[in-house]
Amino acid sequence: MEFKEKVVIITGASGGIGSETARIFAKNGANIIINYLSSPKKAEETLEQVKSLGVEAIKIKADISKPNEVQNMITNTIKEFGKIDVLVNNASKHPPPIFNFHTPDWDLWKKMVHTNILGIIICSHFAFPYLRESNGSIINIVMDHDPGGLGYVLTKAAGTPLTRGLAKKLAPVRVNAVSPGVIETWEMSEEEKNEWLKTIIIKRIGHPIDIARAILFLASDEASYITGETLHVDGGRQLLV
Ligand SMILES: NC(=O)c1ccc[n+]([C@@H]2O[C@H](COP(=O)([O-])OP(=O)(O)OC[C@H]3O[C@@H](n4cnc5c(N)ncnc54)[C@H](OP(=O)(O)O)[C@@H]3O)[C@@H](O)[C@H]2O)c1
């Protein structure tokens, strides 16, 4: 797919899926903005890998839950590249912190809401004027599978209706989502893997590249008539759990 001269912002590009997404867009010719928060070394690694593919890239530290930091990130992107074609709202912590109802950490709850829900709205808000100009698109990374939860999964599941809401509000800018299954971005024991495999029809754990390919497709011209959609990339997991 052709992304030559396109400008792509990826939030949380110091993490597993974000960093793979940065590489796949770069392989397809895009210039990349690598957003990160607390992992400068990982962001630097992604930056070097992306630049070695012959595209331009910068890394920007910004907390996506803070409007002033996101506004600065967008301003710096425009100063550097003059436009934005794609925003990938990927940042969030995985595996998630556990919220315990009986010994609640209220600040953790607020942080999850502010990052996983508000963060998508904040980044979309500041990028929107430029995406409208470029006829661009937004891809949110959500979890469209909520077996009932009181914490992280609930805030990620909000990403699906949020994606539809943004698609209506921001048209003709297209807004879609990818809902990953179990993707190996943290160290899993064999025992843990075997437990996960019981819930996956295609008997393998996912790799970040599985998600990156779906994001690339939704951002491409091949998906120009798709908006408000959530694509499950989970080996059929949502059919079982
Ligand atoms: N892995 C899975 O199985 C799975 C399944 C379903 C959905 N997902 C979703 O896929 C996305 C990526 O997951 P992953 O497994 O690649 O996670 P990850 O390796 O933990 O990476 C998370 C990224 O988000 C960044 N981040 C967190 N809070 C941030 C904030 N407030 N502002 C800016 N950046 C922030 C982190 O940056 P720093 O490290 O620099 O702080 C890191 O780059 C997430 O939205 C996650 O919910 C993952």
Per-domain residue ranges for the chain?
A: 7-239
Q: Which atom of ligand 1 is the closest one to the Cα of 185?
A: 15
**Hey, whose CA ends up nearest to atom 31 of ligand 1?**
63
Distance 14 CA to ligand 1 centre (A): 8
- Residue 152 annotated in active site: yes
Tell me, what's the pLDDT at 241? Answer: 79
Q: Which residues of the chain have pLDDT under 50?
A: none
Tell me, what's the pLDDT at 164? Answer: 98
Cβ burial 49-80 (10 Å sphere, 16+ → b, else e): bbeebebebbbbbbbbbeeebbeebbeebeee
pLDDT tens string 129-165: 999 999 999 999 999 977 788 889 999 999 999 999 9
Tell me, what's the pLDDT at 48? Answer: 98
| 3-state class percentages of the chain: helix first, strand second, coil last, to nearest 5 | 45, 15, 40
Cα separation, 238 vs 241, in Å, equals 6
Fold of domain 7-239:
Rossmann fold (3.40.50)
Tell me, what's the pLDDT at 145? Answer: 79
The DSSP code sequence of 50-112 is HHTTT--EEEEE--TT-HHHHHHHHHHHHHHHS---EEEE----SSPPPPPSSS--HHHHHHH
Cα distances (Å, whole numbers) of residue 84 to 5, 36, 76, 230: 10, 18, 11, 22
Tell me, what's the pLDDT at 96? Answer: 86
Tell me, what's the pLDDT at 230? Answer: 98
**Hey, whose CA ends up nearest to atom 39 of ligand 1?**
39
Cα separation, 78 vs 82, in Å, equals 4
**Hey, whose CA ends up nearest to atom 21 of ligand 1?**
15
- Catalytic site residue from 36, 130, 152, 225: 152
| Statement: the pTM of the whole predicted model exceeds 0.85 | yes
Distance 222 CA to ligand 1 centre (A): 27
**Lining residues, ligand 1, CB within 6 Å:** 11-12, 14-18, 35-39, 63-65, 90-94, 115, 141, 143, 156, 180, 182-183, 185
Tell me, what's the pLDDT at 95? Answer: 83
CB 116 within 8 A of CB 155: yes
